[in-house]
């Protein structure tokens, strides 16, 4: 029997995916575990393997097209099997869903007026739904809950084990807070996208979220009705615009300045030939206009000829340019970058502190370290190590805002901003304070290679407590960065510049690097950030302390 293949959810923030490449074509045999496509998510390009066997009967989206999560992208079945009914109805359960929606509609309309609309974001909560863990999965059974209501949850915690039609798999929370609600008991089934749990601040009343679960169908119906009612208006607006254009075409086309000059000179615009696009009359057409009667009269030409030597005009050569541009679809990565940075900038009150660091000793130390180190250590590696040590001394900077509480992280995980073709990735050097410079250097280099190859996995970029962004290699003196939420601060590293400095009362050449600390004022105060920068400056100016 033919089965549909749907776009899977491959990251916690993914809402749609782009088919980067198909590895199978219609008519090919597919075995369970075969790579059938590469999917570009908002984080990376990942392999999509088949969970079933059969012949590839249908491919929906073309390479480069984006597809929403759970949308049908392919159909597998027996060779020659009729699959069109699956595409027309989505799947065999679609009629039942439609009947359910119709049955729920009256209740939805009644409750929509009584229940105020409250979003999970407004409550600071995260709603966890039954994920689509296989292409044929329509529901999952909660095999085991690993937490109970009231327990603290971390973003990487596996909160439950779910039995699908293929295997028993873990469900990750992708949220931090308190487990406020469990919707399905162990041993019970839940349909894909049904609410199974809610995580948020302790003591939050999640009843409004649960009450709204049944009202979504009514909202969709209202949206469709509103869409239909807008169509006649749009048509009327189009007809009005069309008639307006026709009226404009019946008049003489001229710029406002040309009309003003023509009026002052008493020139009839109907007698003037326009030189601009579409015959539009512009200023130079009015200035160069000579009435036909005057042009034919010898008496009229004589004064003009006599006045010619007295008037000096500059004639510019005519330059004809072409306006053109190119557009491309926004990648999934760029969409996520735009959303997350906007949320960070407009939610967290940023302020910035800048300090200058004398890098003479760091330059000398780096040369000595690279004489014996197994891998080449960069200045950025030295900065990462110094930041990690400084954060251990200033835990307030190694913190994050959690709504009703501030989290002070005792571990130090440094996110390292890396530019890639489609945007920016921030892989994490975990427990950086305990690693050697050579270890940090090797890890960052490996992340860089995997980032460019789009081979980073979600575990590589999750869990940072502080971020370092370095544009010094591009010659940038200093800059400011947007905080990588939920971190409480981010460090912007500029280039090492040779400038005159005063040492021992004399002006001598120096190597100065500027560091700018961006802080979330909700968790880091000005004095706290300044003290952290002073410690960081001391470590970089005396790098032997990094090895102590």
Q: What 8-state DSSP symbol labels residue 77?
A: E
Strands 168-172 and 189-191: unpaired
**How many CB atoms are located within 10 Å of the residue 425 CB?**
24
- Catalytic residue list contains 521: yes
In angstroms, what CA-CA distances link 541 with 145, 370, 425, 512, 544?
52, 18, 29, 10, 9
- Return the structure tokens found at 88: 């027309």
Q: Could you tell me whether strands 66-68 and 16-22 are parallel, antiparallel, or unpaired per DSSP bridges? A: antiparallel
Choose, from 151, 205, 404, 525, the residue flagged as catalytic.
525
194 is catalytic: no
In whole angstroms, give the CA distance from residue 192 to residue 201: 25
- Which residue bears the tokens 């607006």? 237
User: What CA dihedral angle connects 345, 350, 353 and 357, to 10 degrees?
Assistant: -30
H helix or E strand, kind and range, residue 533: helix 526-541
Annotated catalytic residue: which of 23, 411, 439, 521? Answer: 521
456, 449 contact by CB (below 8 A): no
Number of H helices, E strands in the chain: 15, 26
Would you list the DSSP string of 16-51?
EEEEEEES--TT-EE-TT-EEEEEE-SS-EEEEE-S
The tokens describing 211, both together, are 């009450």
Which residues are catalytically annotated? 521, 525
């Amino acid at each position: 029997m033919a089965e549909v293949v749907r776009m899977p959810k491959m990251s916690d923030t993914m809402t749609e995916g782009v088919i980067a490449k198909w590895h199978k074509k219609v008519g090919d045999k597919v075995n369970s575990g075969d790579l059938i496509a590469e999917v570009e998510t908002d984080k990376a390009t990942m392999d999509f393997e088949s969970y079933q066997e059969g012949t590839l009967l249908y491919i929906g989206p073309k390479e480069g097209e984006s597809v929403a999560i759970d949308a049908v992208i392919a159909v597998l079945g027996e060779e020659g099997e009729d699959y069109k009914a699956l595409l027309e109805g989505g799947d065999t359960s679609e009629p039942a869903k439609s009947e359910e929606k119709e049955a729920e509609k009256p209740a939805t309309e009644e409750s929509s007026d009584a229940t105020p609309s409250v979003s999970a974001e407004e409550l600071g909560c995260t709603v966890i739904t039954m994920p689509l863990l296989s292409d044929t999965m329509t529901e999952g059974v909660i095999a085991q809950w690993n937490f109970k209501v009231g327990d603290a949850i971390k973003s990487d915690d596996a909160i439950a084990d779910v039995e699908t039609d293929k295997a028993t798999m873990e469900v990750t929370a992708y949220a931090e807070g308190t487990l406020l609600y469990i919707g399905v008991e162990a041993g019970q089934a839940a349909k894909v996208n049904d609410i199974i749990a809610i995580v948020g601040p302790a003591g939050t009343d999640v009843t409004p979220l649960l009450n709204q679960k049944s009202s979504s169908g009514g909202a969709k119906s209202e949206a469709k009705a509103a869409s239909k009612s807008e169509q006649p208006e749009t048509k009327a607006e189009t007809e009005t615009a069309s008639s307006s254009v026709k009226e404009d075409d019946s008049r003489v086309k001229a710029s406002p300045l040309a009309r003003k000059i023509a009026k002052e000179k008493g020139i009839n615009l109907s007698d003037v030939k326009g030189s601009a696009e579409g015959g539009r009359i512009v200023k130079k057409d009015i200035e160069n206009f000579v009435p036909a009667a005057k042009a034919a009269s010898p008496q009229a030409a004589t004064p003009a000829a006599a006045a010619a030597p007295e008037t000096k005009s500059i004639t510019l050569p005519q330059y004809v340019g072409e306006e053109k541009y190119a557009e491309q679809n926004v990648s999934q990565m760029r969409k996520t970058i735009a959303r997350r940075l906007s949320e960070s900038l407009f939610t967290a009150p940023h302020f910035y502190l800048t300090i200058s660091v004398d890098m003479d000793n760091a330059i000398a130390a780096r040369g000595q370290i690279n004489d014996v180190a197994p891998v080449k250590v960069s200045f950025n590696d030295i900065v990462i190590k110094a930041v990690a040590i400084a954060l251990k001394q200033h835990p307030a900077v190694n913190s994050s805002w959690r709504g009703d509480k501030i989290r002070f992280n005792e571990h130090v995980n440094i996110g390292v901003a890396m530019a890639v073709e489609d945007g920016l990735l921030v892989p994490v050097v975990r427990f950086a304070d305990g690693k050697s410079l050579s270890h940090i250097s090797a890890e960052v280099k490996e992340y860089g290679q995997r980032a460019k190859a789009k081979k980073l996995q979600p575990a590589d970029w999750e869990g940072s407590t502080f971020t370092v962004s370095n544009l010094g290699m591009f010659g940038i003196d200093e800059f400011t960065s947007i905080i990588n939420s939920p971190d409480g601060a981010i460090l912007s590293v500029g280039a090492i510049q040779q400038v005159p400095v005063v040492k021992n009362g004399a002006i001598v050449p120096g190597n100065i690097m500027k560091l700018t600390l961006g802080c979330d004022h909700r968790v880091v105060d000005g004095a706290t950030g300044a003290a952290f920068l002073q410690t960081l400056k001391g470590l970089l100016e005396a790098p032997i302390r990094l090895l102590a």
